[in-house]
Amino acid sequence: AQSVTQLDSQVPVFEEAPVELRCNYSSSVSVYLFWYVQYPNQGLQLLLKYLSGSTLVKGINGFEAEFNKSQTSFHLRKPSVHISDTAEYFCAVTRGGGSQGNLIFGKGTKLSVKP
C-alpha cells in the first residue's frame, strides 16, 4: 500500500520569494508521483509528474520537483512566486505501471502568496 504525507498544511510566503512544498511518500513498490494544483472554485490541474527517468521534473507555471528515492520525497519548488500562485497543492502517488487515476493524495498544502 502507498501513502502520502504533506508536511505543511499552510505555507504563507511573500511575492517573489522562493517556496518549497514538501511531500513524502511510502510504498513497497515502484510509484508514479504527481503534483496537482487547485485554484479557487476550479478543478484540480496537473502541475507535473514523475514516471521514470530524470529525477528533476519541470512542470507548468515555473514549478519543478525532484524525486529522491532514498529519502522517499518529491518536494515541489518555485524560485519566485506570484500572487496568482495562491492555491491548494496536492501531492499524489499511484502504483507504477498502473492507472494514473487511481491516486492516493496527501491532505494538501494551502499556499498563500502575499504582496
Partner 1 sequence: EAGVTQFPSHSVIEKGQTVTLRCDPISGHDNLYWYRRVMGKEIKFLLHFVKESKQDESGMPNNRFLAERTGGTYSTLKVQPAELEDSGVYFCASSQIDGRINEKLFFGSGTQLSVL
**Beta strands per DSSP E along 1-68:** 3-6, 10-14, 19-21, 23-26, 31-38, 44-50, 56-58, 64-68
- Among 43, 44, 41, 37, which residue's Cα sits nearest to residue 61? 37
Q: Is 53 in the site for partner 1 (CB under 8 A)?
A: no
Q: Is 11 in the site for partner 1 (CB under 8 A)?
A: no
| Smallest distance from partner 1 to CB 81, Å | 23
Piece in contact with partner 1 (CB under 8 A), picked from 15-23, 45-53, 64-72, 79-87: 45-53
Burial 51-64 (b: 16+ CB within 10 A, else e): eeeeeebebeeebb
Q: Is 102 in the site for partner 1 (CB under 8 A)?
A: yes
Q: What is the rounded CA–CA span in Å between residue 97 and residue 71?
A: 21
Piece in contact with partner 1 (CB under 8 A), picked from 40-48, 54-62, 64-72, 79-87: 40-48
Q: Is 79 in the site for partner 1 (CB under 8 A)?
A: no
Using CB under 8 A, pick the residue from 1, 28, 42, 115 that binds partner 1: 42
| Smallest distance from partner 1 to CB 105, Å | 4
